[in-house]
Amino acid sequence: MTIPYNIGEFQETLVWPAPPEKWPVALRALWFDAKGDWHAAHDLVDHLSDAMAKWVHAYLHRKEGDEWNARYWYRQAGKPFPEISLEEELKVLVEAVIRK
């Protein structure tokens, strides 16, 4: 399966049992998070060092409620701490991975 074209197509994939292995790791992590599996999402990005993985990592810790750790990872990703909702940030992240 190809990478979704937009957030709507991404959301349509949430009925699948798993994301395709060919998707970028960051997109697979966001897929697991959108399905409610925070731990699977975190496990995918926890050991990665690229900027996108760090941004997803930051988002996940923000969602977890660990603001101190989230702020650390946003700094590592070169991103400001967001003032948007978690739902909106998920959309922004998915679109950023898709455009990459």
- Is it the case that residue 1 has pLDDT exceeding 90? no
Please report whether residue 72 resides in a domain.
Answer: yes
C-alpha to C-alpha distances, 32 to 35, 54, 56, 76, nearest whole angstrom? 5, 16, 12, 22
Beta strands in 1-100 (DSSP E): none
- Range of 51's domain? 24-99
Domain-located, residue 3: no
Residue 5, in any domain of the structure: no
How does DSSP classify residue 14?
G
Q: What does residue 8 show for φ and ψ, rounded to 5 degrees? A: -65, -45
DSSP label at residue 35: T
Number of domains composing the chain? 1
- Tell me, yes or no, whether 54 lies in a domain: yes
Q: What is the pLDDT of residues 17-42, one digit of tens each?
A: 999 999 999 999 999 999 999 999 99
1 within domain boundaries: no
> Residue 19: its pLDDT value, please?
97
Is 33 a member of any domain? yes
pTM: 0.96
Asked whether residue 13 is domain-assigned, the answer is no
Here the tokens at position 50 are 């690229």
Residue 11 lies in a domain: no
The per-residue pLDDT for range 46-100, each reduced to its tens digit, is: 999 999 999 999 999 999 999 999 999 999 999 999 999 999 999 999 999 999 8
